[in-house]
Amino acid sequence: MTNRLFRLQEKGVWHLPFGMDADALIGEYEVAGQGQVFRFFSELAGAEQAALLEQAVGIDLGEVARLSCDWQDGGIGDEDYSSLQPAPYKLHPSSGGDASQWAFASQIGGAALRAGRVAAFTVAGGQGTRLGYDGPKGTFPATPVKQKPLFQLFAEKIRATGERFGQCIDWLIMTSAQNDADTQAFFESNDYFGLESEQVHFFMQGLMPAVDDSGKILMAGKGLIAMSPDGHGGSLRALVRSGHVKRLQAKGVDTISYFQVDNPLVYCIDPVFIGFHLQERAEISSKMVPKAYAGEKVGHFCLRADGRQVVTEYSDLPQELQEKRDPETGDLYFLAGSIAIHVLDLEFVARVGGVEASVLTLPFHFAHKKVPCIDAEGKPVQLTEPNGIKFEMFIFDSLLLAERSLIVETRREDEFSPIKNAIGQDSAESSKRDQSAQALRWLAAAGETVRGIKTVETSPLFAQTETEFVKQWQSLNPKPDLMDGMYLSENVKNLKETS
């Protein structure tokens, strides 16, 4: 449904799309038991009324009612966990996988990239509440020496891959209503970090209203519905709705490399991963890492009795299954952890994200949270405990809708060190340490002694993988002196950063 409100105020009546007027819309809310949304309507100024109507017309009241019932019935979880098996995955060569298969996949992925069939896709619409940073998360300084913002790091990775394969690779960035303007302004004021402005495409994800325990839509203000982003799974709908699926199809793109905004180590466009995905004709492919410990808070790749792969959240998988071990190897039985890196087939996105295919859309999950809101007198409610339910879709649920899916192992130290929290585990500090550790491993692989050096940063334009790094390093003559705080840029300048 379009969100555009055609404002034609004639004799105090607002005319809405689809031949509906404001009175009819307000009437619909009353019939649906959601009349509180317009409780203060007559007190609002004209522009505020228009804004509220615009919010209200975009909400699917039937969907809200259905989801509220699901929540009251105890959620969507009717999974038979006891029948779950570990999902199979392609072993990384370092775990015994066949290196020749990886080399072949790299050729296939490389050919697809050279043919311009691949676009990059970042989901950046989240609220980043755990990090507590004031601004879009992609603008957060994330690298150990240069303190590059996440967006710059990804831009350089995409640029490096584009240069390697001779293509100007499209980069899709999903934002939300809360951070779209700031995100776009950040790119503009930084000259798109060396990318062409035409290759970077922003679009906003959908919003969902928050409801109270009885299914009533919460109001953030007298003229403002409490809305929040509809989850990273909302990206499939948003890709279709924004017109990017059609646009990409028209230019010959059929494969999307999906990653989240908070993981500096991600290999944004991995030819091997893309190659495996294409070889298997998968609709969605996913990267996994072996879980670090039983209770690690990642989703688990599982296989259902009907043969479908699923990601079961850590909060859903019963503890005894999280801790269960393989009697032969002693490894965790459900070892495969999801790190939210996927390759998606564009046809699949069109099918699952297409509005007409509503039976095939992703399920919503429920989060019981503190949602700032007003009471029946219009006064802010003092919140001591969760008062509202937010609805979110998760990208990994699309596995359930895929006819063919594939899971490929990667090494945690190569590709996963997200910035989620302000301090401690999965924080900027831990991620910067892991980024430095990667650069130090690469230097060691190139034959250097790195004792006593802690902090090093490598530009993606210098190298994106260990193999590339070793080749680049060996071609340097003379080689730079190794020192703490060194930065290897594309032209090996600025080796020592003064902070």
Q: Which residues bind ligand UTP (CB under 6 A)?
A: 123-130, 137, 174, 205, 229-232, 234, 260-262, 392, 420
Q: How many CB atoms lie within 10 A of CB 412?
A: 16
State the nearest-atom distance from the C-beta of 155 to ligand UTP, in Å.
Answer: 16
State the nearest-atom distance from the C-beta of 208 to ligand UTP, in Å.
Answer: 9
In order, the DSSP letters of 51-105 are HHHHHHHT--HHHHHHHHHHHHTT-S----GGG-EEPP-BPPGGGT--HHHHHHH
Nearer to ligand UTP, 149 or 234 (CB): 234
Nearer to ligand UTP, 262 or 415 (CB): 262
Nearer to ligand UTP, 137 or 351 (CB): 137
Residue nearest ligand UTP, Cβ-based: 126
State the nearest-atom distance from the C-beta of 415 to ligand UTP, in Å.
Answer: 15
Nearer to ligand UTP, 230 or 456 (CB): 230
Return phi, psi of residue 102, to 5°: -70, -40
CA distance to 139, 272, 372, per residue, from 378 (Å)? 35, 56, 12
Burial category of 54 from C-beta neighbours within 10 Å (exposed 0-12, middle 13-18, buried 19 and up) = middle
The structure tokens listed for 173 are: 């960035």
Q: How many CB atoms lie within 10 A of CB 28?
A: 15
State the nearest-atom distance from the C-beta of 178 to ligand UTP, in Å.
Answer: 10
State the nearest-atom distance from the C-beta of 420 to ligand UTP, in Å.
Answer: 6
Q: How many CB atoms lie within 10 A of CB 147?
A: 15
Q: Characterize the bridge pairing of strands 336-345 and 255-260.
A: antiparallel
Secondary structure string (H, E, C) spanning 365-377: EEEEECCCCECCC
State the nearest-atom distance from the C-beta of 482 to ligand UTP, in Å.
Answer: 34
Burial category of 209 from C-beta neighbours within 10 Å (exposed 0-12, middle 13-18, buried 19 and up) = buried
Nearer to ligand UTP, 209 or 229 (CB): 229
Q: Characterize the bridge pairing of strands 365-369 and 171-175.
A: unpaired
State the nearest-atom distance from the C-beta of 439 to ligand UTP, in Å.
Answer: 24
Burial category of 278 from C-beta neighbours within 10 Å (exposed 0-12, middle 13-18, buried 19 and up) = buried
Nearer to ligand UTP, 5 or 211 (CB): 211
State the nearest-atom distance from the C-beta of 137 to ligand UTP, in Å.
Answer: 6
Nearer to ligand UTP, 106 or 139 (CB): 139
Nearer to ligand UTP, 71 or 140 (CB): 140
